[in-house]
Every structure is written in C-alpha cells, then in structure tokens.
Copies of this chain bind each other. A is one copy, B any other.
Amino acid sequence: MEDIVAPELDVAQWFNAEAPPSLAALRGRVVALHAFQMLCPGCVQGGLPQARKIAALFPPAEVAVIGLHTVFEHHEAMTPVSLAAFIHEYRLTFPIGVDRPSDGGPIPRTMEAYGFRGTPSLVLIDRRGRIRRHSFGAEDDMRVGAEIALLVAEKDGAAAG
C-alpha cells in the first residue's frame, strides 16, 4: 500500500516559531505531529509529555516536533489567548499551531484533512512527507521511540531493510 502524502498544515496562528513552519519546508526531516486540545486530560497527562520527550531525545535537525491545537469542542474556552498561557505554564518550547477553524462546523481544517478521531493524536511523517503512523490515544514511549528512530534511519528517503 502506498503511504499517503501528509496534507499541509492549515494554521491560523503559530506559537514558539519565528517563521511559520510548513511540512513543505520540513521535507527531509522526520516530523512528529502531535494534535491536542489544551483542556483534554489525556493530552496534558500523556500526549504532551511524550511530545516533549521526543523533542528532547532526537536532534532537531533530524526530527521536528510540531504541536497542533485542534479545537473541536468548547471552542470559546480554548482560544489562542488561553493557549498562549497554557504553553507558558506548561513550558512547551516546540512550535505549536492553531488549527484553522472551519467556516461550516466544529472540526478545524487540518483535523478534517487528516481525519483525526479526537485528541491526543500522533502522526509520524517521514523525510519524504508521507504519513507513516497515525494513532489516536495514549501511545507507549518505547514504541514511539522505536518508530521515530527507524524513520530517522531512512537517510536516503527509502525504508530500511
């Protein structure tokens, strides 16, 4: 089966980013895309600490950790101004984008494009921009570490083995 090319991020506002990141510009690096909501307990307790670990373990030149604030409920409770304070209080330092709200419904645009079932969701994108892993809910650290390492090892853009 062919892996799907990861849809570009549709982001209304970035935090922790001097220039707006894009998957196009990150081509050549592995991307760990972590979709979350700031008031989702599973994200706060599991997903975000894992994203922080990924950012600490792998060299930024090899692996880019990108947070995506995909608000699909309680929209008025999780505005960018609240997110900014959340990022500050939880000491998150990787780039975090606000998924652009949809005109016609509660699901924001990038979430719609990727078909996220909820938060937290983790997407691993390889050096060629293809989706290699797409999971919903708590993920084991050891498994995630193993999967990212293998994607990093695809130096030439081809799967190892």
Instruction: Give the interface of A toward B (CB within 8 A).
Output: 39-41, 44-45, 50, 53-54, 57-58, 73-74, 76-79, 81-82, 84-86, 88-90, 140-150, 153, 155, 160-161
A86→B161 contact, CB < 8 A: no
Q: Which residues of B contact A53 (CB under 8 A)?
A: 140, 142
A85→B39 contact, CB < 8 A: yes
B57→A142 contact, CB < 8 A: yes
- Of the candidates B73, B140, B150, B153, the one whose C-beta lies within 8 Å of that of A57 is B140
Q: Which residues of B contact A76 (CB under 8 A)?
A: 81-82
- A144 and B144 CA atoms in complex are apart in Å by 11
Which 5 A-B residue pairings sit nearest by Cβ, starting from the closest? A77-B85, A145-B145, A142-B145, A146-B149, A74-B85
